[in-house]
Amino acid sequence: MKIVYQHLLRFLKEKPSIENLSDKLFQLGHEHEIENFIFDMEFTPNRGDCLSLLGLARDLNVFYDTDLDLKQYKEEIPLLGLSFINQESSKCPEISFLNIEINGKISKYKDYLNDYFIDLKLNKNNFFTDVSNYVAYEMGQPTHSYDFSLIDGDIVLKNNINHSKFKTLLGKNIDLNDSDLVFTSNGEIINLAGIVGGESSACSKNTTNALVECAYFKPESIIGKAIKYDLHSDASHKFERGVDPICHKAVLRRFIQIVSEHVEI
């Protein structure tokens, strides 16, 4: 995982040099290389808690004074009347959904969000997906944003029961097996759980009404799926190593906060 030195400094009250910070990371057992002020980290599989800015800063707290309090949305969030059926709670014991609708023009990205794309040389997609990707980098919890206006009917999480065709949001067609964990709506697969969303419900630059999914999947239900289908997935990389099952409230409030800093909600 690539972590930008300057991004990590935001969590540290002291501002150590990159050499000093590198030394402390090695003392913590975090192997890495440095290129252009970016740490290319090699975390062991049991340290999924470090796959984020926040997680790494939390680990560094043994050496530095840290500020781990991220600004979050404080207002009451209305209860979402979503019809969701979890048929595989043993594989996904914790899941939350958030509906967020925006009004007006999205402002120029704030420095922290814009720097994420510039410094890591990443392509921007659309506003909701960009926020989702940034939150995963910052907090370690993957989320998936659907265009809510494109979903019609109940959402069901289940094991795929037939060999099925699925077109990812990247436009790749794959043949799913009957052992794959999927989200469906009206019988259509809209997400290969923990790996990648589907094209039919994907957010676009025109999306104003999003449904944000925040889930904890048991690692064994995700392991090997991305490789099997030749999909590069940051989400699966994190889910395979274990994410925090009780972070959803903080993550979704952070998501709303970032959105609210760019557009009226």
* Full 3-state SS string of 113-160: HHHHHHHCCCCCCCHHHHHHHHHHHHHCCCEEEEEHHHCCCCEEEEEC
Is 233 within 8 Å of 170 (Cβ atoms)? no
- What is the residue-level pLDDT of the chain in tens, covering all 265 positions? 999 999 999 999 999 999 999 999 999 999 999 999 999 999 999 999 999 999 999 999 999 999 999 999 999 999 999 999 999 999 999 999 999 999 999 999 999 999 999 999 999 999 999 999 999 999 999 999 999 999 988 999 999 988 789 999 999 999 998 889 999 999 999 999 999 999 999 999 999 999 999 999 999 999 999 999 999 889 999 999 999 999 999 999 999 999 999 999 9
| Distance, CA of 37 to CA of 25 (rounded, Å) | 14
**Do residues 164 and 175 lie in contact, with contact meaning Cβ atoms separated by under 8 Å?**
yes
Q: Which residue in 62, 51, 66, 70 sits closest to 9, CA to CA?
A: 66
Helix ranges (H only) for the chain are 5-9, 18-27, 53-60, 111-119, 127-139, 225-228, 234-241, 248-260
pTM score, whole prediction: 0.95
How many CB atoms lie under 10 A from the CB of residue 207?
Answer: 20
Instruction: Return phi, psi of residue 246, to 5°.
Output: -115, 20
Q: Which amino acid, one-letter code, is at 105? A: K
How far apart, in whole angstroms, are the C-alpha atoms of residue 129 and residue 116?
A: 13
pLDDT value, residue 162: 80
Residue 31, pLDDT score: 97
